[in-house]
Amino acid sequence: MTTVPQPLNVLFLCTHNSARSILAEALLNHMGQGRFKAYSAGSSPRDNQQPHPLGLQVLEHAGVSTTGLHSKTWEVFADSDAPHMDLIITVCDNAAGEVCPVWPGHPATAHWGYPDPSEGDKSEADKLAAFRHTLHAIQQRLNLLINLPADKLAHTVLETSARALSTS
């Protein structure tokens, strides 16, 4: 009898959990083909924070499901009954510089910084273009991650592998 390997649990962190981390969660769940299970959270989501509508729009246009996406605080994943994370990736520079909770199981960590596509007083068309660009940039890096050989995804080398992708 063969056992199906457990998927690698990956948590993407950002400050508000409305744009970059949501894009990364949805993309990895779409691309990971059961080898990965992605989640996202924010260090300080605003009250009633929701995923950015332009982020949802570019995901849907790319054929990526947005079902179940919602903004949440990272404290949800620091609880003892939370899913065990294998890899935690910050996708914004603010979250990367914050003091994170102590994660159960001491997962590997990496920082893949992307500019905030929703930031500034840009026109709606410019923001939409920024979201598309961010989606593409995240997708390129995730493609590298999901195609790493199994030995590069082993817990002992996962952090080194994920951090090396930040320069790709």
DSSP code of residue 118: T
Domains of the chain by residue range = 8-156
State whether residue 116 is helix, strand or coil.
coil
Distance CA 145, CA 51 (A): 24
pLDDT score recorded for residue 67: 96
What pLDDT does residue 97 have? 65
pLDDT for residue 98? 65
Amino acid (one-letter) located at 9: N
Please state which architecture CATH assigns to domain 8-156. 3-Layer(aba) Sandwich (3.40)
pLDDT digits (tens, 9 = 90+) for 70-114: 999 998 888 878 899 999 999 987 755 666 677 777 889 899 999
Q: What is the DSSP letter of 167?
A: T
Q: How far is CA 47 from CA 16, 17, 72, 149, 161, in A?
A: 10, 12, 10, 41, 35
Task: State residue 93's pLDDT score.
Answer: 78
Q: Report how far residue 127's alpha carbon sits from residue 118's, in angstroms, rounded to the nearest whole number.
A: 6
d(CA 168, CA 165): 5
**What's the predicted TM-score (pTM) here?**
0.90
Each residue's pLDDT tens digit in the chain (168 positions)? 555 578 999 999 998 999 999 999 999 999 998 899 999 999 888 888 899 999 999 999 999 999 999 999 998 888 878 899 999 999 987 755 666 677 777 889 899 999 999 988 999 999 999 999 999 999 999 999 999 998 888 876 887 888 888 876
The beta strand positions in the chain, using DSSP E, are: 8-14, 36-42, 87-90, 108-111
